[in-house]
């Protein structure tokens, strides 16, 4: 089983739709959690960190369920510019360092 698993998609949605991505992780010692966005042939960029209490940034809401080892990302009112690959990233501590483990990413295509 992969350490971080994501549905690769693609998710093909119309503008204005609400879409949700899920991510599960296997290491219960994982300590911090993030969603990154990666555009085609570009570098990943941090979208938001994920907290147990849930956090929201505009149209984006992230949620963490430590008991189920599950992370989610909800995008409301999708825009064409939201089309990208969304990477779930889980950090585990390792002797004073933090080792990020990436999921393979979920592809989102927003169409007119």
Partner 1 sequence: EAGVTQFPSHSVIEKGQTVTLRCDPISGHDNLYWYRRVMGKEIKFLLHFVKESKQDESGMPNNRFLAERTGGTYSTLKVQPAELEDSGVYFCASSRRLAGSFYEQFFGPGTRLTVL
Question: Where do contacts with partner 1 occur on this chain (CB under 8 A)?
Answer: 2, 4, 31-32, 42-46, 49, 87, 91, 93-105
CA dihedral 1, 71, 22, 78 (to 10 degrees): -150
Task: Find how far residue 83's CA is from the centre of its chain.
Answer: 14
Least spacing, CB of residue 16 vs partner 1, in Å: 30
For residues 27 and 17, is the Cβ–Cβ distance under 8 A? no
Nearer to partner 1, 81 or 94 (CB): 94
Nearer to partner 1, 70 or 98 (CB): 98
Nearer to partner 1, 64 or 110 (CB): 64
Least spacing, CB of residue 43 vs partner 1, in Å: 4
């Amino acid at each position: 089983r992969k350490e971080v698993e994501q549905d690769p998609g693609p998710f093909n949605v119309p503008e204005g739709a609400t879409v949700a991505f899920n991510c599960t992780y296997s290491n219960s010692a994982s300590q911090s959690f993030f969603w990154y966005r990666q555009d085609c042939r570009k570098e990943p960029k941090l979208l938001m960190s994920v907290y147990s209490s849930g956090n929201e940034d505009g149209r984006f809401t992230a949620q963490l369920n430590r008991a189920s080892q599950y992370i989610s990302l909800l995008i409301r009112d999708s825009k064409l510019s939201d089309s990208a690959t969304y990477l779930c990233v889980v950090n585990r501590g390792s002797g004073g360092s933090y080792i990020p483990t990436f999921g393979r990413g979920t592809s989102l295509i927003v169409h007119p």
